[in-house]
Amino acid sequence: MNYAMQTTCPSCHAVFRVKPDQLEAHAGKVRCGKCAYVFNAFETLVSPIETVSLMAPPADDFSDEFKDEAGTGKSGISEIPAHDVRPLTISEPMSATFPIPTDDQIEREAEAINREIAASAHPELIEEIEETDKTPKSGLHITPELHEKLNNLQLQLTTQEKHARWRGVVWGGGIAVLCLLLAGQSVYFLRNQVAAYYPDTKPLLSSLCHVLHCKVDLLANADLIKLESSELQSAPERPGGVTLNASLRNLAPYRQAYPSLELTLTDSANLALARRQFTPSDYLPQNIKPESGMPRQDELPIKLTLELVGLEAVGYKLLVFYP
């Protein structure tokens, strides 16, 4: 009575006869001879099947069953001759293919076969794996010469990068300096406008001008000085004297310098008989300093007393201007 180890393919459920030395040679890995699926035979071992030999009974025992009661063996039935009956054995299952040459080959064949089997059952899973597993594999062998060239190239690139970085720093610093110089130049030439629109900066600008030997002056725009009224009257208390009354208003949104006035006396033909100019110190009250400037949107009354000697003036003209 012989015993054989048997295993079952988990893919097609075929039963195979295996030997212990075949399983130990490759850690139990086998390939199905029917569907080519690779699996571990140790995990699917089944109970050993007994191989039974069925032999025909001896001729003597066989003929005794047909002897008559007298023991003559003549019972009317002809004697059955003994035949050479071969032993009957249970058919052996389909054998597996053994052995697989190497473990690496087993792994590759197992992966390929299992992917084919899985592709038939789950094609969408295989497509997703193939899309995600697209990492290129490079088999480039870097020789020492190539490695040295790569190092030299990397050194050149690093040097060029450093030079480019320093050039960028120099250019950036130069541009910043030029911007500062441009801003300083603009402030220098527009210092009067800056001080007019931003009065808080005037002390600082004045300090800088003291170093640069310049001066911060008030803006002077005659178009923003309005002569609201003027009148020339005779002075009764002074023979030959006249009084000029006028009113000025600063329309600018900032302080302006006090303007100068020009008075022209005319005759009956509107021809000039006499002309005189008046500076701010001539018409401003003593409590107002000319350098303080005329406040924005402020009105200034003016009163001047003049003497006309030998002039028969009929009319006059009053002009506001900046010299």
Task: Give the pLDDT confidence of 251-307 residue by residue, as tens digits.
Answer: 999 999 999 999 998 888 888 888 999 999 999 988 889 888 999 989 999 998 888
Looking at residues 26-42, what average pLDDT do you find? 82
Letter for the amino acid at 87? P
Query: 289 and 250: one domain?
Result: yes
Query: 7 and 118: one domain?
Result: yes
80 within some domain:
no
Query: 235 and 268: one domain?
Result: yes
- Predicted confidence at residue 251, as pLDDT, reads 94
159 within some domain:
yes
Query: 123 and 53: one domain?
Result: yes
Query: 165 and 201: one domain?
Result: no
Is the whole model's pTM more than 0.85, yes or no? no
- Predicted confidence at residue 277, as pLDDT, reads 93
139 within some domain:
no
Query: 123 and 49: one domain?
Result: yes
Give the 3-state secondary structure of residue 17.
strand
Query: 64 and 40: one domain?
Result: yes
Query: 197 and 237: one domain?
Result: no
Range of the domain at 201: 190-219
Tens-digit pLDDT profile for residues 97-140: 444 456 677 777 777 777 776 666 656 555 555 555 555 555 55
- Tally of domains within the chain: 4
Query: 123 and 150: one domain?
Result: no
CA dihedral of 228, 234, 238, 240, whole degrees rounded to 10 = 120
How far apart are alpha carbons 248 and 230 in whole angstroms? Answer: 9
How far apart are alpha carbons 31 and 94 in whole angstroms? Answer: 12
- Predicted confidence at residue 259, as pLDDT, reads 94
Query: 22 and 94: one domain?
Result: yes
Query: 161 and 257: one domain?
Result: no
The share of the chain scoring above pLDDT 70, in percent, equals 73
81 within some domain:
no
195 within some domain:
yes
Query: 6 and 127: one domain?
Result: yes
Both tokens of residue 112? Answer: 């390929």
The CATH number given to whatever domain includes residue 286 is 2.70.50.60
How far apart are alpha carbons 130 and 244 in whole angstroms? Answer: 104
91 within some domain:
yes
12 within some domain:
yes
Contact call for residues 8 and 49 (beta carbons, < 8 A): no
42 within some domain:
yes
